A and B are shown apart, each in its own frame.
Chain A
Amino acid sequence: MASSSPPSTASSTSSSPYRKLLHSLIYWAVQRCRMSESPCRLTISVKRSPESACSSPLRISVSDTGVGSKLEEFLELDDLTREIPVEKWDGTLFITTTGINDKTIYRYQFNLQEDTSSSARFTKLATTSKICLCLSTEADVDDFILWLVGFVRKIFVLRASNLACELFVEQTASAESGHVCLSQDSDDVHLSITTSSIDRLVSGLKDYALSHGNTSDRDHLKIGTGAAKYVDKRKDKGQLVEVVIMIAHTSSDLSCWMTHCSSTQVLHFEDFVPCLISQSSFNVLTSIDWQSYGFKSKGGFMDDDGNAVLQWDNMAFAPTGTDQWRSSQPESYLVRKALKSALVGLKVDHAEDFLSCHGQRVREYVPDLAGSIAGLILSSNDQEFQDECIALLGLGSDQDLAEGTVRSCISEKMNRVIKMNDTKENVEHNTPYLFECERLDEDYIQLHDEDQDLIRDF
C-alpha cells in the first residue's frame, strides 16, 4: 500500500527538504500507530537551543507508541538525506525504540550522510533519546514552525480513532522564550470507538472551519460525504477514497463576503497524514461539473504551500469549508466517484441551496411571471374565472385574496417544479403545451434579429 517515493508533487519551491523529511517521519509514526490496535500517542516537539539567534540549531523529535517499523521508512530517509546539504543537517538521527515485552530500551544513532557500508553508519547507544534530528537553522525558522503547526492542525481534523497527537514548540532564544502547545481536543461527545472515519472527519472539519473564522455557527454547516473503493481480492489490497464537502452560509456582512467567499481550500490526506495533492486528483477537482450543483467554478491553483485552492465566481454563498479525501495515490476515477457522491448527497439533503446554475437562472424569472399571472387573475371582473383559479391554486375561496398571496402561491409551485426537474434528462420532452396544437413542434428556436421584420420576409 505504501509508496517508495516521497509524497510530493508539482510545486517544488514550497516543499523544502526539511518539510519533506519531517513529513516522512510523521507519516511513518502515524502508520505505526494505526498498525497498533490500542490507543496510541504521537508527540512532535521542536526545541530551539539558547545560543545565538542566527545559527541556533533546531532539535526536532517525533515519538510514537505505535508498532512495527518498515524498511521503506529508512529507504525513504536515505533518499531525503541526499537533498539536504551537510552544513544544514549532518544526517544524524537518534532512534529510540522498545517493545511492550522488552525489558530494555534500544537506542541507536543513524548517520545517514555516511556510506552504507561504513560501520559508523549505525551505532547502538547507551543513553536514551527519541528519534530526533538537529537541523541548523532553516532560512526562516518561523515559517517552518508555522507550517508545522498548520500540518499538525490538519492531522487533528481527521480525529483518527486511537490516535492522540500533540505538538510542543519551545523557543528559548536569548531575549524571548515562548511555548506553543497543541493537543488534540478529542472531547467531542458524538465520537465513540465505533464512529466511522468519515464521521470523524466531518466532526474535525467542523471545528477546523469554526477555528478559521469562516463561520460562527457549527449547526448551520451543510455537509456532503461520499466514498469510493476498489478491492483487489486476489492481491489482497485495495484503495479507499472518502470525500467530505462542507458549505457554510456566510454572514450578510459585505466585507466578510469579499475576503472569504471566493475560494475553497482543499485538505488532502493520504493514509491519515496530510499530503500534497497529486496532479491527477487536482485535475479531477477542476474538471467536475460544478454547475450542476450551482457552483460557478473559476478553476483552481496550487498555493505557496502546495495546497490546492478552488475559486468561484459570484457566489451567493460559498463553500468556505473544504474538500478532503484520503487514500494512497488514489486512482482518479475513485476520486471522481467519491466527489460526485458527496455532491449528490449535498443536493439530496439541501436541494434548494444547490440548484444547478441553469436552475438558478430559471428561478430568477419566477417572481415576475407569478406576479403577471396573479395580476391578470385579480384584475378580472369575472367571478367564476377567479374562483376557478383560486380553487386550482388550493387557496381558500372565502376571503378576499391579496395579489401578494396569489403571487407567492404560484411562485412556490413553480419553484417546486424547477427543483424537481433540475438536471433531469428529457424534461423538455415531457412538458405539456398550454394549448393543444395541430402539429407537434419541430423545435424551431425563435430568433430575435433586428432585421427579422423585413429582410427575412423575402
Chain B
Amino acid sequence: MKSREYQQIDPKALPTPTQSPPSHQHQAVGDDGRTPRRKWEVFPGKNRFFCDGRIMMARQSGVFPLTLGLILVTSGLFFIFDCPFLVKHLTSCIPAIGGVLFVFVLITLLQTSFTDPGILPRATPEEAADIERQIDDTGNASYRPPPRTKEVLINQQVIKLKYCFTCKMFRPPRTSHCSLCDNCVERFDHHCPWVGNCVGKRNYRFFYTFIVSLSFLTAFIFGCVTTHLALRAKGGKGLMFALQESPVELAICFFSVWSILGLSGFHTYLVASNLTTNEDIKGSWSGKSGEAVTNPYSHKNIFINCCSVLCVPMPPSLIDRRGFLPADEPAQTSGVDLELPNPSTKSDINVVGGSSHLVLDLQKSSADFSLFLNQTKPAALPA
C-alpha cells in the first residue's frame, strides 16, 4: 500500500525572517515584473480561483455544470410551457412563486460552490518544527515524526486529534482532510461533486438552504406540471396525449424530487443533532465500539443545535486569498512533495452523491506508520 512519505524537517532550511514589514511595501512581483502577486496564486491546495481570488472552487468541478444545467433547463421549461397555461387557468401567483424559488436556489447554489468551505491554511515551517520538537524532550533537539494522534477532553469525552502530514499540524476537532481538494477543512461535512466544492463550516448553511429550497422548487414544479397535465387531460384529449407534450420536465422532476427530499430530510436530522455527514457515516458517536459515547458537540436541544449550525456568526475565511505575498517570504509549499497518483490511496474519502449517497471510505492501516522514511533530503540532522 503506498504510504505518504514523511519529510524530515531540516532546521537549517527553516527561514529566519526578519519580521515581515507591512505587505504593501515589499511584494513578490508577478511575471510581468510589475504587478505584486496575491496569495491565491501560490495556494498549495487543489483549488481553482476566479476574479482575482474572490471566487474559489475545487479543481475537479465534478458535475457542477450538470447541476446548473438541470436546474436551468427544468425551470426554463416550466416557465415557457407550464406557466402560460396555469396563469390562464389558475392564478398568476404561480410564476411569481416559481421565480422566487428559482432565484433562491440559484443564489444559494453559487454561494455553496464559490465560498471557501473553511479551509485551514497549512502550518508554517517554524510551527511544524515546533510541534515535532516538542515530542522529544530528553534534551535532544531532534525532529521526529510526531505521534499520529493526540488526545483532548471535550465535554468529559476523550477525542483523538489526528496529525495531518500534508498540512503539518494536529487537526482541530471535526476537521478532516479532503483528498480531492488536498486541504484540511473545518467541520468537514462531505465533498459534494454536485456543487463542485467541499461542504464545511463556512458554507454548510448555504448548502442546507440550497437543498431545502431545491426540494421546494422541484416539488412545486412537479405539482404544477401534474396540475397542468390533469387540466389538459380533463380538457378532452386524454392523459397520454398530454404526457407526450412535457416528458422531459416530468422525468427530471419525478426522479429528483424523491432524492432531494430525502437529502433535505437527512441534513435536517444532522442539523438538529449537530452532526456532520462525515461523523454520521463513520458512526463516531453511535457507540459502535461498545463504549457509551455521545456527541460532545450537541447542545441536547434541537433548537439550540439548529441555531449553532445555521445562525452562528459567519466565521472569516482563514486563507486570505487576496492578500499580497511579501517578497522575502517563500510561498507555502505543499509540505510533502509527493504526487499522489490517485485519491484512493488517501485515507477517508467521503463523496456523497445526490440520490444514491455513494460513500467510499478507505481507511489506511496504522502499519503505514512504520513505513516512514527517515531522511529523504541530503541535509544533515542536527546533533
Partners in one complex: no
A-side interface residues toward B, CB under 8 Å?
none
B-side interface residues toward A, CB under 8 Å?
none
